[in-house]
Amino acid sequence: MSMQINRSPIVWRTDQPTPRSPAKSFLPLLRAAVASHPGRPDLLCDLVIVLRDDRRWDEIFDLLSPLADGDGLTPALACELARAAIAGERPDIALRVVDSAIAQGVEGAARQKVLALYALCRFDEAQAAAQQALREDPDDNLVLGAFGSDCLTRGDLDALISTCQWGIDCGASSSAYMAYLATALAMAGRRSELGDVLDPAHLCQGNEFRLTR
């Protein structure tokens, strides 16, 4: 008995509609739930998370900003408002609400304060906030990137070198510390230290330390 094998070519279709994610499909229901139960911050938070995943920053801002002057913002919602305000280029509002989220240890809140301060060109405060945020989460590449770019732009090489050395010594997994350290040492003309940093034996020792600590 012979078997007929279909050798039709595979055709990739790019004109088909992209399926909506399951979370986005709940948006109408979540909006209705929040409208009918305006005193439920848990429902509001569920809605905001879905909106954030879809990058609907303006809608988040319109939902949460009226609550900023009262007691309607939980710390988690304050962090979400800060994130939306920064995305909408309103960092002054982000800075006004984010401290309550930081005080309660909301994940990502310290990052939003750093980004707001940099957006407002309050560089010294931003640098101090970035260093504090990195002490709490050494692997926050967004904070490290903002801090590193600012230090290189303004020539604050000593601060960048010391922070990167600290990150490497504490075993942070981000390779950006090594890249920023090498760049800062080169710009500072500290060639011997740069050679030590880039020495293959030194790099292997550092990697071994991070893998076995």
For 79-125, the pLDDT digits (tens) are: 999 999 999 999 999 999 999 999 999 999 999 999 999 999 999 99
pTM: 0.77
> What's the confidence (pLDDT) of residue 171?
86
| Of residues 88, 9, 75, 80, the one with CA closest to residue 48 | 80
CB count within 10 Å of CB 43 equals 18
Q: What is the DSSP string of 97-152?
A: HHHHHHHTT-TTHHHHHHHHHHHTT-HHHHHHHHHHHHHH-TT-HHHHHHHHHHHH
> What's the confidence (pLDDT) of residue 209?
39
Sign of the torsion angle spanned by Cα atoms 20, 26, 29, 31: negative
> What's the confidence (pLDDT) of residue 188?
92
CATH of 22-121, one of 1.25.40, 1.20.1250, 3.30.1150, 3.40.50: 1.25.40
Domain coordinates of the chain in residue numbers? 22-121, 123-213
